[in-house]
Amino acid sequence: MSNRQPEARSRGLWSDLVPVTTAAPREPVASRGNILGRIRFTDAPAEAALDDATPLLTTHMTNEHVPPVEEIWRTALPVRTGTAGDAVFAEDGEHLFYAVRLGPQPVYREPVRELYENALRFAWDHGYTDLVRMWNLIGGITSPNADGLEIYRDFCIGRAEAFSALADRFPQLSAATGIGTLSPGVDVAFLAAKPGRAVHLENPRQTPAYKYPSQYGPKSPSFARATFLKDTTAPESVTGTLFVSGTASILGDDTVHIDDVALQTEETLRNIGALAGGDNLRDHGLDGAGYDVKDLDQVKVYVRDAEDLLVVRSICESTLPADTDISYFNVAVCRPDLLVEIEGVCR
Ligand code: 3EB
């Protein structure tokens, strides 16, 4: 459990990854605050629901190889929660957490378009006009849908259609994760903020995902490589939180180090270092900010093959400080040749 978070934040958002136990988790002092939303990574999916009066998304992402964990997003501000159709949400006047589960579908395109349009309209209508972080947890991600199209590609079409329908309101894409789960269906959660604090970043080592060539699917994935959320809207402010998207062993648009999980893990960590480094932040107008890969915390590491868990873990543990909060998952990645994907948060 990381102790690196300051105790009080006036406008920030922070998260913890805590083990799921039958007893209520003991909360570290640094984690006091109000819960905005939770994502429970466990052994079966469930409808998004208000649980203990807070939004809870439950996704099937643990098996016998990894323990269940809960990601808890907190804020210092008072929170209002509610439901919107099948979705659950919480807002604190500065940030919105929204989560919804879409059950198994023969073809995902149309229901995903509808889910994303509803979600984006909800955020807009409540004044949370800047997307900050999206998670797309996709069952059977590299398996075919009822038409024979890979489910990730099918999903990407519906998501792209929603962003295109709402392009006047959401012209910018935020940090995201697109990753496999262990049950059919799609679990979506996102964080959004009031206008003026979010800056979206690309990676100098990677082609922007929205410009991927069509060999990876009829519609390119709709996400940025990272989003920096400034602590305040003051223009001179360069303090904030960097939300690092799911990052893989991709250079340009090519998967590199096919069949070599150790090299894929090291390349992924180099990609994160280049993305979060001071040069890249300066290139995106964030002068004075910048991180090292060692600053990555609340890390989620997705490993396709269970037999690779040990080697990935040993590389992550030797690269990141001992007090880093890291959780591992044994799930498929969105390209069959990607063996590992890593995401996290830098402050
Ligand atoms: C990649 O770089 C790896 O579709 O939302 C990473 C992060 C990936 C987000 C998404 C996909 C997504 O293309 C896959």
Angle of the 151-165 helix axis to the 109-125 helix axis, nearest 10: 40
Question: Which residues are within 8 A (CB) of 222 and not within 5 positions of it... i.e. 6 or more apart?
Answer: 156, 159, 160, 163, 173, 176, 209, 210
Residue nearest to atom 8 of ligand 1 (CA): 178
The helix (H) or strand (E) run that includes residue 311 is: helix 309-319
pLDDT of amino acid 31: 64
Query: CA angle, 124 as apex, 119 and 126 as ends, to 5°?
Result: 100
Q: How confident is the model at residue 9 (pLDDT cuts 50, 70, 90)?
A: very low
CA 32 to centroid of ligand 1, rounded, Å: 32
Residue nearest to atom 4 of ligand 1 (CA): 178
Q: Which of 245, 268, 301, 335 to mutate to test the pocket of ligand 1 (most atoms within 8 A of CB)?
A: 245
CA 200 to centroid of ligand 1, rounded, Å: 15
Amino acid of residue 64 = E
pLDDT of amino acid 232: 75
The helix (H) or strand (E) run that includes residue 271 is: helix 261-276
Residue 28 in this model has a pLDDT that exceeds 80: no
Q: How far apart are CA 39 and CA 70, in angstroms?
A: 6
pLDDT of amino acid 109: 98
Residue 309 in this model has a pLDDT that exceeds 60: yes
Residue 33 in this model has a pLDDT that exceeds 70: yes
Q: How confident is the model at residue 7 (pLDDT cuts 50, 70, 90)?
A: very low
Q: How confident is the model at residue 90 (pLDDT cuts 50, 70, 90)?
A: very high
CA 18 to centroid of ligand 1, rounded, Å: 25
Looking at every residue in the chain, the average pLDDT score rounds to 94
CA 252 to centroid of ligand 1, rounded, Å: 13
CA 179 to centroid of ligand 1, rounded, Å: 7
Q: How far apart are CA 347 and CA 297, in angstroms?
A: 8
Question: Which residues are within 8 A (CB) of 88 and not within 5 positions of it... i.e. 6 or more apart?
Answer: 37, 48, 49, 50, 55, 56, 57, 81, 82, 98, 99, 100
6-346 is a CATH 3.30.1330.40 domain: yes
Contact 312, 257 (CB under 8 A): no
Residue 64 in this model has a pLDDT that exceeds 90: yes
Q: Is 212 assigned a ligand-binding role in the annotation?
A: yes
The helix (H) or strand (E) run that includes residue 120 is: helix 109-125
Q: What percent of the chain shows pLDDT beyond 70?
A: 93
Amino acid of residue 186 = V
Catalytic residue among 150, 161, 267, 341: 341
Q: Is 169 assigned a ligand-binding role in the annotation?
A: no
pLDDT of amino acid 6: 44
The domains of the chain are located at 6-346
Residue nearest to atom 10 of ligand 1 (CA): 178
pLDDT of amino acid 24: 56
Task: Specify the length of the chain in residues.
Answer: 347
pLDDT of amino acid 234: 72
Is the Cα torsion angle 289, 32, 175, 89 positive or negative in sign?
negative
Q: Which of 151, 334, 341, 342 to mutate to test the pocket of ligand 1 (most atoms within 8 A of CB)?
A: 334
pLDDT of amino acid 238: 85
Q: Which of 137, 151, 177, 203 to mutate to test the pocket of ligand 1 (most atoms within 8 A of CB)?
A: 177
CA 175 to centroid of ligand 1, rounded, Å: 9
Residue 3 in this model has a pLDDT that exceeds 80: no
Ligand 1: residues with CB < 6 A are 136, 176-178, 209, 221, 223, 245-246, 248, 250, 334
- Tell me the per-residue pLDDT of 156-206, one tens digit each, with 9 for 90 and over: 999 999 999 999 999 999 999 999 999 999 999 999 999 999 999 999 999
- Is 341 a residue of the active site? yes
Q: Which residue from 187, 343, 188, 179 is spatially nearest to 275, judged by alpha carbons?
A: 343
Residue nearest to atom 12 of ligand 1 (CA): 178
Q: How confident is the model at residue 276 (pLDDT cuts 50, 70, 90)?
A: very high
> Which atom of ligand 1 lies at the shortest distance from residue 223's CA?
5
